[in-house]
Amino acid sequence: GAGVSQSPSNKVTEKGKDVELRCDPISGHTALYWYRQSLGQGLEFLIYFQGNSAPDKSGLPSDRFSAERTGGSVSTLTIQRTQQEDSAVYLCASSLAPSPGQGSGGYTFGSGTRLTVV
Amino acid sequence: QQQVKQSPQSLIVQKGGIPIINCAYENTAFDYFPWYQQFPGKGPALLIAIRPDVSEKKEGRFTISFNKSAKQFSLHIMDSQPGDSATYFCAAGSGNTGKLIFGQGTTLQVKP
């Protein structure tokens, strides 16, 4: 597609439920990133996939968070047993270059999934 | 060492003014410094980026100034317009980090 597509755009869930957030990157982009943006806060890194390499999971806040990327394309971020503090906008980005600064260097972000845990 | 500190948190200027947003970093391995612009309900979009081999880069009304020795960089918006009202994020990264580290964001309002 022309851009990074994320679904759903909004998700309201009850505390304790599991949620899955989907990201469809730009075709051919080898790098895929998940970030979290809480109200009035910056972008918090969660996880990074690059090709067939092991993902960089160093930003995942707890073992309730996991992500996978199937076939080097679509990625799913799963949050188990959601808590109210998980409420945030979850942003996915993809990049043609394997790491920042290479090639054009820029990320293309999706519009995000706004998660509300009630 | 992985942090990028951004200031101010919010900024209000009159149309035609020159808002300046500042960022500081600690990790000397960073070699790529982009700025992103985000409008409500949208994801951030790349605005302009600089590498440490130059001290300034201009693209249209947007200028990045880079001070390698001070480990600081800033965004200047010339002749600001109400349409520039948005949240701006600085970031830093390198081939070693494999990812961008973002500042906390600055909400800019340009009054008509």
Q: Is-contact A21 A89, C-beta < 8 A?
A: no
**Four-residue CA torsion sign, A68, A71, A75, A80:** negative
CB contact under 8 A, A50 and B105: no
Higher pLDDT, A106 or B25: B25
CB half-sphere exposure, B57, CA atoms < 13 A: 18
Question: Residue A45: in which H helix or E strand, if any?
Answer: strand A43-50
**Which tokens go with A24?**
């469809």
- State pLDDT tens for residues B2-23: 789 999 999 999 999 999 999 9
Taking an 8 Å cut-off on Cβ atoms, the answer to whether B99 and A33 are in contact is yes
Distances (CA, A) of A32 to A73, B7, B31, B48, B86: 8, 28, 20, 20, 25
Which of A42, A99, A107 is nearest residue B104 as measured by Cβ atoms?
A: A42
Q: What is the average pLDDT score of chain A?
A: 91
Which residues, 6+ apart, have CB-to-CB distance to B92 below 8 Å? B4, B23, B25, B27, B30, B32, B33, B100, B101
Give the range among A58-62, A88-92, A104-108, B14-18 with minimum mean pLDDT: A104-108
Q: What are phi and psi of B83, to 5 degrees?
A: -70, -10
Tokens 């992103």 found at: B36
Enumerate domains of chain B plus CATH numbers.
4-111 (2.60.40.10)
Q: Which residue on chain B is closest to A3 by alpha carbon? A: B43
Pull the structure tokens for residue A85: 């503090």
- Cα of A16 to nearest chain B Cα, Å: 26
d(CA B16, CA B97): 38
Cα–Cα distance, B39 to B16 (Å, whole number): 20
Pair A4, A113: CB distance under 8 Å: no
Q: From the CA of B8, how many Å to the nearest CA of chain A?
A: 13
Each residue of B57-106: pLDDT tens digit?
999 999 999 999 999 999 999 999 999 999 999 999 887 777 899 999 99
pLDDT at position A104: 60
For chain B, the residue count is 112
